[in-house]
Chains A and B, each alone.
Chain A
């Protein structure tokens, strides 16, 4: 079965650079979520999109922006990167028709800021 796809899987950037993370949800899933998991931490919700519109916003820095495109894939854009942005970034997707709105997680993008 198709799963959530995230690219790239690993990314190394310098401070003050920009990064773009991509997420391709499971086909026919209409909602995408982004989570950030710092080293030794639990995942923290950043932002979500439903039918290409922002549906909820968590602790996402102003330096970050995201959007969902017409094909439902989503991109998380991160600018002026800081050392503290080093983390595992998960994308998850869900659909209203899926049992209990289960969120399926992608494998994550590990971002390292040097």
Chain B
């Protein structure tokens, strides 16, 4: 079974609108972490936001917030007031366990912001 599922291969959003990128995960480990990374066309992998499985509140980092619904095993990324520079590939990833564990990535969502 897929550990990380991103069901939106591509999205087009008007500039200044908010956008939600979906991510569901599958794990039986009670300790895990969920990450979102942005990959622009230049290729680098840019960390955006992190949510731990025991965190009580949804993570926020500037215009990024993570809508964490533990019972539904979803960790959607919300980008407010989208900008042209937000156009990129977005990956959801999970780390299982509490140590220095590897990341498992979803297949990504290509976000295009329309002026």
Q: Which residues of A contact B (CB under 8 A)?
A: 30-31, 33, 35, 41-45, 48, 50, 55-56, 58, 88, 90, 92, 94, 96, 99-105, 107-108, 110
Contact = CB atoms under 8 A, between A and B. Distances in A.
Contact of A100 (B33, B91, B108): B33
B48 to A, nearest CB: 11
A47 B52 CA distance: 23
Contacts of B91: 42-43
Range class of the B interface residue count: 20 to 34
B43 A108 contact: yes
Contact of B52 (A50, A100, A108): A100
22 contacts: A30-B100, A31-B100, A41-B107, A42-B105, A42-B106, A42-B107, A42-B108, A43-B105, A44-B105, A48-B100, A48-B102, A55-B100, A90-B45, A92-B103, A101-B33, A101-B95, A101-B99, A102-B50, A103-B35, A105-B46, A108-B44, A110-B43
Nearest to A9: B43
Interface of B: 33, 35, 37, 43-47, 50, 52, 91, 95, 98-108
Contacts, number: 62
Given A43-B45, A104-B47, A108-B43, A96 B105 contact: no
Contacts of A110: 43
B102 A58 contact: yes
Contacts of B45: 43, 90, 92, 105, 108
Contact of B44 (A44, A99, A105): A105
B37 A105 contact: yes
Nearest to B103: A103
Given A42-B105, A42-B106, A101 B100 contact: yes
A112 to B, nearest CB: 13
Interface centre among A41, A43, A104, A108, by most B CB within 10 Å? A43
